[in-house]
Amino acid sequence: MSSKQTYRFPFAQYPAVRIALLMVGGILIGDQSEIDLSVLLTVFGLVCIITLLLDHLNKKRLSPNIKRFSTLLFLSSLALFGWIRMELSEQKTKLLIVQTLTASPWSEAELEGTIEQISRTASGKPRADITILETSLESGAFSKEEYKIRLLMEDGEFKQGDNIRFSGTVIPVSEKRNPYQFDYRAFLDQREISVQIRLDSLISQSKNNNARTWNWWRVRALKLIDQNFSKETAPVAKALLLGYKQDLEGASKQAFARAGLSHIMAVSGLHVGFIIAPFWIIIPFFWSKKYGRISGLILLILILYSYAGLTGFSSSVIRASIMAGLLTFGKLFNKSPNSINLTGVAAIGLLIWKPGQLFEIGFQLSFSAVLIILLVLPIIQNALPYWLRLRWYAKPLMVVIVSIVVQLGLYPIQVFYFGEVSLISPAANALFVPLLGLMVPFALGCLIISTAVPAFAATLIFPVEIFLKGMNAFVGFSSGLDWAWVETSLPSVLLFPFWAALIFFIASWRIPLIRWKWLTVSMFFFCVILSESVINKLDNRELTVTVFDVGQGDAALIQTPNRKNVLVDAGVWSPGYDSGVSVILPHLKEAGIERLDAIILSHPHADHIGGILSLIEEIEIDVIYNSGYEYESNLYRNYLELAEAKNIEVKSVKAGDKLNVDPALIMLVLGPEGEKFNNDPNQHSVVLNMIYEESEFLFTGDAGEDQEERLLENYGELLDTDFLKVGHHGSRTSSYSEFLEEVTPEIAVVSLAERNRFGHPHAEAIQRIQQTGTELYFTSRDKALVFISDGKRIWRKEWE
């Protein structure tokens, strides 16, 4: 008689992983909850006391149920600990001084603090993250509470570690205002920064001369790199050796990402491995000495701690340092630590130190990559023929295999955050990673020598200079290849559990009793994803209109029932801001829209065509419709020239034209009329009437009183609509009563910025609109707005 085989996962081998997962659960709950910290501490204390009592009583052999309950309480205490740690980390944002500043936007304050990090905005202006030590408010209030701010500047010569005293104006931190837009507020929250201040005047500045701080040593190391490398290679050297990427231009970062080499610019386990490789080789020497093992461990800890300090204690370096330290401890003392469990130990340490790191991309990529390598690579290695492992090309081949494994394993995370995947990555890593193993420790050694013998170090470092120039050339060339990388989007959030189940299926290949269970789980999620996609394609007969919040400008995306995509206006352009880059393109990429079937530009002002250049550069466009109004501006001329260079047809439309985009829709052009009747581009706006069965939409650009009168003369009651995009941002020169009496919209949307130099919206225009009884929305107040129509009615869809 045979019994059914079963398999019990050896949880006891991975205690740190279990603890880390429970802490992660607690941190996630803590991030979303608003429970008072004192309540949590009380509950945590009671749980711990009860657990200890039950554990004591359990020694008297109580029932299994009591034992299970005790275990459950213990596991709950670990999750509670993560929850409490998250709440404690958020206490700095709840300080009275922080709450006072955030509640008083545009107020002035005098502050003193230490610069922790310097970076640049998209427009190239400097900004600094500062730990504030003293704060004086306009009201006379004074505080010595410590917290972090982000300082915005027009210019300034500041160094990391400088102590400065300054006066500034509190600038509100912009929240996420559009679907798929980068959440700047959440980004700062992860770094425990809740206040943003604009520098008005610098009162005093003193250099950091305290050699006992890591800031001082980091600044010193960066200065050494500037002295020993050329201007061309110094930014790359700083990123490669110290993880300092502030001097890298955005185009360079993008090129490295598309070449699949961005990971070498973020100091991680790869770099730590390069640093300790020489130490690992001489471990047998420490075995032979009386106190060799202790001395070796102390030396290793000093090396790892020093390098972590120089690189700014990033999560990837700390994770790698903890693992390297524990692995070397095992090597020195003849222990065999479990690498997966060590990863859990590293995660626990990081989450206790800074629980907010759980939400950082670097933390997620770093730990995911390590776990994928540890789980999947042994299976692949065992699958390789023995003879192949003995060949001279075995090690380069393994570099390629590791790169492919990591690239595939991280696919959902890369798509979710970046929307791009490098295809040339395996080849690029096979070429450069082995060389980096030599160059990184060699370059750091040369920098150390340069402090004593500068001239000799400059000669020694020449090979590294040549290597970096060659790598720059390769990155520039490869990232420009059409096939080197692909843009893609996340088809469903269920891709994450599907991918995880697939990884566990491969990892459990040698355990038949559970591998097929993982395959079943992965196939279940695959079928759900496929079904979701099919259902969406078959049943989605809805029309979606997304009115973006682009500030003082206009941009709206129309997604038709037959999956055509039309953009009405392209937002704002100003020095340092491009609606195309900041709002529209991220939305299109995340929504999986790879081409625009048409762009309709109502008129040639920069608040309506601002993002057109970036759109032409980055996405396929079938045709651009405009009003035909000739306008003198560089932006207008440049977009016409660029469209011609890209072979994009530009058509001028006039009243009476019909746009054939989707057979399910009728898209009629109501304006402008063919002839030019004044010198105001606003009065020659493209006015679009879109009809989907029983639902009608009217887009009026910046049409004013003159054009509204002509529309009334020509169309009268035919202007009646359900949805109105209000003309000219709610200006008093638009939306006149006679026009609104014919239009009678159920929904009206005003697109504008909260603070604008025109004083929009004007009260008289808004009063006229409100008198029609319409449901009125403002992008300045309501953020981006998404409306859905099934052909019978129109309703607003919440996107947050």
Give the pLDDT of residue 622.
97
Closest alpha carbon to 20 in 347, 316, 342: 347
Q: How confident is the model at residue 62 (pLDDT cuts 50, 70, 90)?
A: low
For residue 119, the 8-state DSSP code is E
Q: Please provide residue 670's backbone torsions phi and psi, each rounded to the nearest 5 degrees.
A: -100, -15
Closest alpha carbon to 668 in 623, 607, 721: 721
Token pair of 379 as six digits: 């299976």
CB 547 within 8 A of CB 749: yes
Residue 144 has pLDDT above 80, yes or no: yes
Q: How confident is the model at residue 624 (pLDDT cuts 50, 70, 90)?
A: very high
Q: What is the pTM for the complete model shown?
A: 0.81
Token pair of 637 as six digits: 């001329």
Average pLDDT over residues 299-303: 85
Question: Judging by beta carbons within 10 Å of its beta carbon (0-12, 13-18, 19+), is residue 737 exposed, middle or buried?
Answer: exposed
Which residues, other chains included, contact 12 with Cβ-Cβ below 8 Å and sequence gap of 6+? none
Average pLDDT over residues 468-475: 93
β-pairing, 420-422 vs 163-171, is: unpaired
Token pair of 463 as six digits: 């090979």
Strands of the sheet with 598-600, listed across from one edge: 649-652, 623-626, 598-600, 565-568, 556-559, 543-547, 785-789, 794-797
How many Cβ atoms are within 10 Å of 533's Cβ, its own excluded? 12
Closest alpha carbon to 614 in 635, 633, 632: 635
Percent of the chain with pLDDT over 90: 49
CB 758 within 8 A of CB 553: no
CA distance 591 to 489: 7
Give the pLDDT of residue 290.
67
Residues 692-728: tens digit of each pLDDT: 999 999 999 999 999 999 999 999 989 999 999 999 9
Residue 243 has pLDDT above 50, yes or no: yes
Give the pLDDT of residue 22.
95
CA distance 565 to 543: 10
Our CA dihedral for 217, 222, 226, 227, rounded to 10 degrees, sits at 20
Tell me the range of 37-41, 436-440, 638-642 where mean pLDDT is highest: 638-642
Question: Could you tell me the CATH superfamily of domain 543-797?
Answer: Ribonuclease Z/Hydroxyacylglutathione hydrolase-like (3.60.15.10)
Which residues, other chains included, contact 472 with Cβ-Cβ below 8 Å and sequence gap of 6+? 232, 233, 236
Residues 629-655: tens digit of each pLDDT: 989 999 999 999 999 999 999 999 999
In the block, which residue shows the tokens 């990673």? 433
- 86-100, 121-135, 322-336, 542-556: lowest mean pLDDT where? 322-336
Average pLDDT over residues 476-488: 86
Whether residue 672 is preceded by a cis peptide bond, meaning omega within 30 degrees of 0, is yes
For residue 418, the 8-state DSSP code is T
Token pair of 183 as six digits: 């959440």
Give Rg (Cα) of the chain: 31
Mean pLDDT of the chain, nearest integer: 88
User: Letter for the amino acid at 727?
Assistant: G
Average pLDDT over residues 240-244: 88
In the block, which residue shows the tokens 């959030």? 493
CA distance 785 to 288: 72
Closest alpha carbon to 603 in 681, 715, 689: 681
CA 633 to chain centre: 34
| Matching CATH number, 93-209, of 1.10.3210, 3.40.1350, 2.40.50, 1.10.1760 | 2.40.50
Residue 78 has pLDDT above 90, yes or no: yes
Question: Judging by beta carbons within 10 Å of its beta carbon (0-12, 13-18, 19+), is residue 152 exposed, middle or buried?
Answer: middle
Which residues, other chains included, contact 627 with Cβ-Cβ below 8 Å and sequence gap of 6+? 601, 602, 603, 604, 652, 653, 672, 681, 684, 685, 686, 701
Q: How confident is the model at residue 2 (pLDDT cuts 50, 70, 90)?
A: very low
Give the pLDDT of residue 738.
93
Residue 397 has pLDDT above 90, yes or no: no
Cα dihedral sign, 446-449-455-460 = negative
CB 27 within 8 A of CB 86: yes
- 279-288, 536-545, 579-588: lowest mean pLDDT where? 279-288
Cα–Cα separations (whole angstroms), residue 163 to 160, 214, 313, 515, 577: 9, 14, 20, 58, 31
User: Letter for the amino acid at 206?
Assistant: S
Kindly provide the residue ranges of all beta strands, DSSP E only, lying in 59-192, ordered along the sequence: 108-120, 126-137, 142-143, 147-152, 163-171
Q: Inter-axis angle of helices 64-89 and 339-353, to 10 degrees?
A: 50
For 490, what's the count of Cα atoms within 13 Å in the CB-facing half-sphere?
21
Instruction: Name the residue with higher pLDDT: 265 or 331.
Output: 265
Q: Please provide residue 685's backbone torsions phi and psi, each rounded to the nearest 5 degrees.
A: -70, 145
CA distance 618 to 477: 19
Give the pLDDT of residue 283.
67
Give the pLDDT of residue 1.
42
CA distance 618 to 580: 10
Token pair of 154 as six digits: 């027009």
